[in-house]
A and B are shown apart, each in its own frame.
Chain A
């Protein structure tokens, strides 16, 4: 057992070096940081101008407060969750990281040296989780940083006493959890198709188009059928993110109730189902990978 674990940690070290040595990872994090920075600065600039004409002052004030810490700090997580920008970034990163192993023949190189297939894919998955945590951290640093400065300038200090370390850590992990099904889906697509384009393209199409389309389609039927949309990863992410940034997700929930005739699931059930989605997709990936003929 000890030897197996040591061997696995060595494989994780190999995969970590491969992923963290890639320009793609750092470029993605840079783009995310830039994008979030621009959005937050634009939001604050719009707020300071008094919002769009006709916006009720109380709405502007509510929005201003949502950018103050601690709400502002947690709002950064909403950008990184699986149903939002995070899902797209994960698709690109995981698709390239896994599928290019086939086209570059690095997969052949390692497997022909006695690396066990299951250990190989699990080591890769472990490193993907590390990358997801880094992605959430980036969102937190940028979003938290900008809203932190905003809070400081407006209130003359940061309400650090209002921030619970436990809530902060849980919110961080909840956000990362929403990314897992998308990472697992892309991993599965990469293994089955062995193509970077297919893995990234299908995964992104799913998160950007298919899920929303399913929600819309289900809404055309009875309310009972429409409630099925609650079990899609994007809706599960929203359910879980209620705990992270309640203000933003309440709007979603109201929208869902009118649009699809359904309320969101409880965050705990959503978290459990996100784990189930991830494990099922990871299990399928392993099943296919172990049976695959790796042609030269």
Chain B
């Protein structure tokens, strides 16, 4: 299978703190890949390097077969990203914020914007300024922005944070459906049951290091659930 996203010995150090320690990841085409770890494990730092916001101290990132660095982010135009807090222009409406993206993705038209607003359940609130949105609404709009141009790869950091239980369920179903339709998804989360329910493969990150990686079935072998796997891996370290 073709690798859509790969990291090679990816490392990030902030002064004396080793936030990400020689992480090697491989996400294959069409896969829904779960990136698990407790708070402070280095998930967001890793994702920030994937999307060219941070310079790695060592190692490199390849997305869609092309290297990504903070000064070479062109491959990311074919990627959908959701990294909270999602940075929308607060004095523009939800719809206007999505319209700004049309300048970046010329293939997107007004019909697609309305379609995606409907899909994330924001059509009725799309005329409101983003500064009046709740966290959950911003998260939904963030997902709309990520999906707008029908990307081949989605990089999502805690996409269900701020959503109510119904919203979380809808989000899980949407992500599973997108993966089934062929979109590759890199999903970072600390919600174990969420990852267990929808992901094909999982990597567990702790103190910046990958402690376990495999399909959900492989990791669950002899274990009750992913929480059991997670705790034994973390505590065993």
Contact = CB atoms under 8 A, between A and B. Distances in A.
Nearest to B77: A114
B18 to A, nearest CB: 15
B91 interface: yes
A112 B51 contact: yes
A10 to B, nearest CB: 4
Given A21-B89, A112-B76, A293 B55 contact: yes
Given A112-B52, A117-B71, A293-B55, A23 B76 contact: no
Contacts of B145: 109
B191 to A, nearest CB: 19
Contacts of B139: none
Nearest to B149: A113
Interface in A1-58: 10-11, 13-14, 17-18, 21-23
Contacts, number: 98
Interface size class of B (residues with CB under 8 A): 20 to 34
A197 interface: no
Given A14-B103, A113-B104, A115-B73, A296 B83 contact: yes
A112 B103 contact: no
Interface string B65-89: 0000011011111110101111111
A110 B88 CA distance: 10
A23 to B, nearest CB: 7
A222 interface: no
B192 interface: no
B70 A290 contact: yes
Nearest to A105: B87
Contacts of A113: 76-77, 79, 81, 101, 104
Given A23-B91, A117-B70, A294 B54 contact: yes
Given A112-B81, A113-B77, A21 B54 contact: no
A111 interface: yes
A18 B106 CA distance: 18
Contact of B83 (A21, A108, A118): A108
Contacts of B52: 111-112, 114
Main secondary structure of the interface of A (DSSP, over half): helix
Contacts of B100: 14, 17-18
Contacts of A290: 70-71
B174 interface: no
Given A10-B103, A114-B77, A296-B44, A106 B54 contact: no
Listed residue (A101, A105, A118, A293) with the most chain B CB atoms within 10 angstroms of its CB: A293
B24 interface: no
A104 B53 contact: no
Contacts of A114: 52, 73-79, 104
B90 interface: yes
Nearest to A16: B103
A294 B104 contact: no
B109 to A, nearest CB: 15
A107 interface: yes
B92 interface: yes
Contact of A111 (B73, B88, B89): B73
Interface string A214-250: 0000000000000000000000000000000000000
Contact of A109 (B71, B78, B87): B87
B110 to A, nearest CB: 15
Given A105-B87, A112-B83, 18 more contacts: A13-B103, A21-B96, A104-B87, A104-B89, A105-B86, A111-B51, A112-B81, A113-B76, A114-B73, A114-B77, A114-B78, A114-B104, A116-B71, A117-B73, A294-B70, A296-B44, A296-B83, A296-B84
* 6 pairs of A and B residues whose beta carbons are closest in the complex: A105-B87, A114-B76, A114-B77, A109-B87, A112-B51, A10-B103
Interface of B: 44, 48, 51-55, 70-71, 73-79, 81, 83-92, 96, 100-101, 103-104, 106, 145
23 contacts: A17-B96, A17-B100, A21-B89, A22-B91, A104-B89, A104-B90, A105-B86, A105-B87, A108-B83, A108-B87, A109-B88, A110-B87, A110-B104, A111-B51, A112-B81, A113-B76, A113-B79, A113-B101, A114-B75, A116-B73, A291-B55, A294-B70, A295-B54
